[in-house]
Structure 1
Amino acid sequence: MEDAGLLLIRIMIGVVFLFYGTQKLFGWFGGYGIKGTGQWFESIGVKPGNVAAALSGLGELVSGILFILGVFLPLGAAIITIIMLGAIVKVHGAKGFANGAGGFEYNLVLIAVSIGVALIGSGAYALHF
């Protein structure tokens, strides 16, 4: 049962980051693509915005794939942690803890779950090399 639980958690984390990555990179699911996301990054002081959009989108896409496949989880968790810490520092931190107020609660959950799964391991239902 533990392996099935890890698979469920990995898939959900993976889908979340695939979603965000494809929004930033391709404008899918209501996203703005690199250009629009880059402009937003510039507006919050992250420059060059297009580079930040491409790197964060690529990081989210790659980490999502790693979690879904269950491979290189420490790398995936590190990427997620870096991106979420950036989101906390630049966007959510000043708004306090509560997610409902735009705070950093959700970012911390994503960090904790991704690191926790990386520490436990991918379980039996993963690609193994």
Structure 2
Amino acid sequence: MANLGLLIIRLVIGLTFVGHGAQKLFGWFGGTGPSKTGEWLESIGIRPGGTIWAILAGSFEFVGGLLFSAGVFTPIGAGLITIIMIDAILSVHGRNGYWITNNGFEYNLVLIAVVIGVALIGPGEYVLFYHL
């Protein structure tokens, strides 16, 4: 049952990050794509090169989510997701306190705990390529 639990966690968290990355990189799933995401990043003070940062963030989310959900190089996927969540805390949510009801960093921290926890435990038996 533990392996099934790890699979569920990896798929939900990992594929959610794939979707967030696709929003930034390709404008899929209601996303704004790199240029509009870059404009938003610049509007919150991430300058210069908001579009470059949008592509970088989207790539970390997309690749990190793929690796994490597939259970392939899980610590690398978890690391990419953790970096993005730390960035979200530092650039957006941290100044609002802990609780998500105030747009705080509660959810970001929960995601960090989950991906690091899975990386430390291991991805379980249900992975795309078991030997990696």
Q: Same fold (TM over 0.5)?
A: yes
SS at match of 2:112: helix
> Normalized against structure 1, the TM-score is what?
0.97
- Aligned ranges 1:84-103 → 2 under 5 Å: 84-103=85-104
Residue equivalent to 1:118? 119
Q: Give structure 1 regions of 4+ aligned residues with deviation exceeding 6 angstroms.
A: none
1:50 and 2:18 aligned? no
Amino acid aligned to 1:19: G
Residue equivalent to 2:61? 60
Residue equivalent to 2:105? 104
- Provide the rounded CA distance (Å) in 2 between the counterparts of 1:12 and 1:67: 10
CA deviation vs aligned residue, 1:42-79 (integer Å, no higher than 9, x gap): 11111210110000001100011101110111111111
CA deviation vs aligned residue, 1:12-49 (integer Å, no higher than 9, x gap): 11111011101101111111100000001111111210
Amino acid aligned to 2:8: L
1:128 and 2:130 aligned? yes
Amino acid aligned to 2:104: G
- Aligned ranges 1:11-30 → 2 under 5 Å: 11-30=11-30
Amino acid aligned to 1:36: K
Instruction: Using the TM superposition, give the Cα deviation of residue 128 of structure 1 relative to its aligned residue in structure 2, in angstroms.
Output: 1.3
Considering fraction of residues, name the structure with more helix: 1
Unaligned runs of 5+ in 2: none
- Provide the rounded CA distance (Å) in 2 between the counterparts of 1:104 and 1:71: 28
Amino acid aligned to 2:89: I
Aligned length: 129
Amino acid aligned to 1:11: L
- Provide the rounded CA distance (Å) in 2 between the counterparts of 1:18 and 1:45: 25
